[in-house]
């Protein structure tokens, strides 16, 4: 099941996030990378160096857009200016699918620039799904929603996080960007079994997978994207691809960014799990 309607029926392998410290290396050394994920908001501008670099990257690589501020879960309507600029970028990149987070971050027009956790209620699921549909209809591109790391839970929640995710994607008929590191982080912060989460998502809707590292504190774990991927997260990844098939996979590394080679090598570790799966199926 390498391709599905939620990733535009594409068959992408292992990619890495396009980050500015690596621009020079990528443009001069032209390393072999299957695809790059770009943060949409960094390129939703009128001109200048970022767009020029994006155009140069697109001459040689495939890119997929990932957003951080659509806030599908915010109670307010989508920001029209945001949508207009996002659509311009979608036309430019021809991204086969577009992802953003299952979270909220703005209210009454004020932005926190954070990925705030959802209350897992039926009202929230209904409103979030409606917004996903509106955005997809406007952008005319498949949408995948990503589960976030969280540090708080709400009294009003009526279901588990994975039940909420399933409720939203079924209602919106959209894809899932399954972040197995976020599942691990939240499982430690809220004391649930991360494997139950991975087992519970509808595998046929998984459009893409994120892997990343995180930081441990005394009483909680923070999703910092500044470390290599740890073994328990690789185990969740192995199970996810066992269920969903060979899925577009991306390593996120956003802080204390090491050399391009180090980031790429870490991402390519996903290959051993993908190859194992191919071998297992052949046997």
Q: Residues interacting with other proteins, by CB under 8 A? A: 41, 44-52, 69-70, 74-76, 79, 81-82, 104, 106-114, 116, 119, 121, 123-124, 127, 151-156, 189-191, 219-220, 222
Smallest distance, other proteins to C-beta of residue 191, A: 7
Smallest distance, other proteins to C-beta of residue 73, A: 8
Smallest distance, other proteins to C-beta of residue 99, A: 16
Smallest distance, other proteins to C-beta of residue 236, A: 21
In 3D space, the residue among 142, 148, 160, 163 whose CA is nearest the CA of residue 225 turns out to be 148
Smallest distance, other proteins to C-beta of residue 85, A: 8
Name the residue nearer to other proteins (CB basis): 9 or 220. 220
Smallest distance, other proteins to C-beta of residue 277, A: 35
For residue 157, give the 3-state DSSP assignment: coil
For residue 175, give the 3-state DSSP assignment: strand
User: Which residues are paired to 143 by β-bridges?
Assistant: 98
Name the residue nearer to other proteins (CB basis): 108 or 231. 108
Length of the chain (residues): 283
In the chain, the N- to C-terminal Cα span, in Å, equals 18
Contact predicate 50/43, CB 8 Å:
yes
Name the residue nearer to other proteins (CB basis): 32 or 218. 218
User: Which residues are paired to 116 by β-bridges?
Assistant: 104
Smallest distance, other proteins to C-beta of residue 48, A: 4
Query: Residue 60 has which token pair?
Result: 């040689």
Name the residue nearer to other proteins (CB basis): 151 or 234. 151
Name the residue nearer to other proteins (CB basis): 4 or 74. 74
Which residue is it, tokens 């191919």? Answer: 278
Q: Cα separation of 196 and 44, whole Å? A: 37
Name the residue nearer to other proteins (CB basis): 219 or 279. 219
In 3D space, the residue among 127, 28, 30 whose CA is nearest the CA of residue 74 turns out to be 127
Q: Cα separation of 183 and 155, whole Å? A: 20
Name the residue nearer to other proteins (CB basis): 133 or 235. 133
Where on the phi/psi map is residue 212: left (φ > 0), alpha (ψ -120 to 50), or beta? beta
């Amino acid at each position: 099941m390498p391709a599905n309607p939620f990733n535009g029926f594409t068959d992408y392998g292992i990619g890495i996030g396009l980050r500015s410290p690596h621009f020079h290396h990528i443009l001069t050394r032209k390393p072999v990378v299957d695809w790059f994920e770009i943060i949409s908001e960094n390129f939703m501008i009128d001109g200048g160096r970022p767009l020029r670099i994006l155009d140069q990257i697109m001459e040689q690589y495939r890119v997929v857009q990932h957003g951080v501020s659509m806030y599908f879960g915010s109670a307010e309507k989508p920001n029209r200016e945001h949508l207009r600029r996002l659509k311009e970028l979608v036309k430019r990149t021809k991204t086969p699918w577009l992802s953003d987070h299952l979270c909220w971050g703005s209210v009454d027009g004020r932005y926190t620039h954070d990925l705030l956790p959802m209350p897992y209620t039926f009202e929230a699921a209904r409103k979030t799904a409606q917004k996903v549909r509106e955005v997809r209809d406007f952008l005319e591109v498949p949408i995948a929603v990503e589960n976030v790391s969280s540090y708080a839970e709400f009294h009003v929640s009526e279901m588990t996080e994975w039940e909420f995710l399933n409720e939203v994607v079924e209602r919106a008929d959209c894809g899932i960007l399954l972040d197995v590191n976020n599942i691990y982080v939240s499982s430690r912060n809220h004391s649930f079994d991360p494997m139950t989460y991975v087992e519970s998502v509808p595998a046929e809707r998984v459009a893409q997978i994120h892997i990343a590292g995180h930081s441990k504190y005394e009483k909680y774990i923070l999703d910092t994207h500044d470390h290599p991927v740890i073994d328990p997260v690789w185990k969740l990844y192995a199970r996810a691809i066992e269920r969903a098939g060979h899925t577009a996979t991306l390593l996120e590394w956003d802080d204390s960014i090491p050399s391009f080679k180090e980031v790429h090598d870490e991402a390519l570790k996903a290959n051993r799990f993908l190859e194992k799966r191919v071998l297992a199926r052949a046997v």
